[in-house]
């Protein structure tokens, strides 16, 4: 298999490791969500995924389950094992001490403390190392971590639900509901994988969302992403449901908001962060830099159209999740999914690559990565 995973699907055992990694999404930041399985004689004898920061990494969890059966076995890991002392000892040390004969991992770790050192440490100890199995799938799962380690910024996902004619609400502003119940269930299943969910103050005042993760059938505690409200001038009322207990809330504002309103937000339990203004709105680059500084890897923006338009205008979008509902709203004054300045010519518009299309009941989810044309003279 080639290093980019283009030669085919992950092997059977790497797919099991990827499934383990998926279970850790949203709970490990700023660490990567990694999965590992230990295989001896063609049988899985141990499996595990990264625990919350300060606890065991995936390899250690899997080795503990395998016990003595790990000696002479092969470890399948979705990311290069770490070779440095952080909050926990190096995973390479654990693999070597357990006596594994071989390690197959999907992709190299871009972290400067790890990159290449994990492979070198294992090979120096006589462990066979193979890289590339499941590379594309692992890179997809770890897109937030990979971006954060390379840029210091979280991956930005833009999600919206729109009618067939691109509207997210009726002309009156009524938006309940554009999409159907299957889309709502999908959204709640995905929220625990996120570090933060961001909306504008317009969404708060019109829809009054809770922005909590409430996946169907959950039995036990559910990871709750940080709720972020962009409110440059101080429109969020103290009664807003986004301020209720259940998940932490950050109000990102500017100096244009009244100090008394900021005090009211803090009294309601929110953290208030004053950021620079950008064209009268909260500076989105400054917000993303702050979330990245806090170790957040994946941030979802749910709109509305002005917020999403600002992200696209500034080329800050890493992934699009567009839910298209089978209805026609019409009305020239009905709000669109993406506003902002936009483009003057079709050749300037970003197009999606790596497109995935999924049915969600009667709705259709179109997901992909935007690619912008080079700017003039670029």
**DSSP strands (E only) in the chain:** 35-40, 43-49, 74-77, 102-105, 128-131, 155-162, 196-200, 226-230, 249-253, 271-274, 277-278, 281-282, 298-303, 319-324, 351-360, 363-371
Report the distance separating Cα 368 and Cα 5, nearest Å. 18
Q: Are 192 and 223 in contact (CB under 8 A)?
A: yes
Q: Are 148 and 116 in contact (CB under 8 A)?
A: no
Pairing, β 43-49 against β 35-40: antiparallel
Active site includes 185?
A: no
Report the distance separating Cα 101 and Cα 126, nearest Å. 8
Report the distance separating Cα 149 and Cα 237, nearest Å. 37
Q: Which of 12, 20, 22, 59 is labelled catalytic?
A: 59
- Active-site amino acid positions: 59
């Amino acid at each position: 298999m080639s290093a980019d995973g283009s030669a085919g699907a992950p092997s059977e055992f790497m797919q099991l490791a990827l499934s383990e990694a998926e279970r850790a999404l949203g709970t490990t930041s700023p660490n990567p969500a990694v999965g590992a399985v230990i295989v001896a004689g063609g049988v899985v004898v141990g499996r595990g995924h990264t625990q919350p920061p300060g606890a065991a990494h995936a390899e250690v969890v899997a080795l503990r389950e395998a016990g003595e059966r790990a000696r002479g076995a092969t470890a399948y890991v979705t990311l290069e094992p770490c070779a440095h002392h952080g909050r926990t000892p190096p995973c390479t040390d654990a693999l070597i001490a357990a006596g594994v004969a071989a390690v197959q991992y999907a992709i190299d770790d871009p972290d400067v403390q790890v990159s290449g050192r994990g492979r070198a440490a294992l090979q120096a100890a006589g462990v066979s190392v193979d890289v590339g199995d499941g590379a594309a799938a692992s890179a997809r799962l770890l897109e937030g971590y990979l971006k954060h380690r390379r840029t210091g910024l979280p991956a930005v996902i833009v999600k919206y639900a729109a009618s067939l004619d691109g509207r997210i609400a009726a002309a009156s502003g009524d938006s309940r509901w554009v999409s159907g119940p299957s889309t709502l269930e999908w959204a709640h299943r995905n929220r625990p994988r996120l570090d933060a969910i961001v909306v504008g103050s317009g969404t708060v005042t019109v829809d009054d969302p809770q922005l909590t993760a409430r996946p169907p059938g959950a039995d036990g505690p559910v990871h709750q992403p940080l709720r972020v409200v962009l409110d440059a001038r101080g429109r969020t009322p103290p009664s807003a449901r986004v301020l209720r207990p259940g998940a932490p809330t950050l109000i990102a504002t500017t100096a244009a908001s009244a100090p008394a309103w900021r005090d009211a937000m803090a009294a309601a339990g929110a953290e208030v962060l004053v950021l620079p203004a950008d064209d009268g709105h909260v500076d989105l680059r400054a917000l993303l830099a702050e979330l990245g500084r806090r170790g957040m890897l994946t941030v979802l923006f749910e709109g509305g159209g002005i917020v999403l338009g600002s992200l696209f205008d500034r080329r800050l979008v890493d992934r699009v999740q567009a839910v298209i509902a089978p209805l026609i709203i019409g009305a020239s004054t009905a709000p669109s999914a993406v506003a902002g300045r936009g483009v003057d010519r079709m050749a300037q518009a970003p197009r999606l690559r790596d497109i995935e299309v999924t049915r969600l009941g009667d709705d259709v989810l179109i997901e992909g990565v935007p690619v912008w044309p080079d700017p003039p003279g670029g």
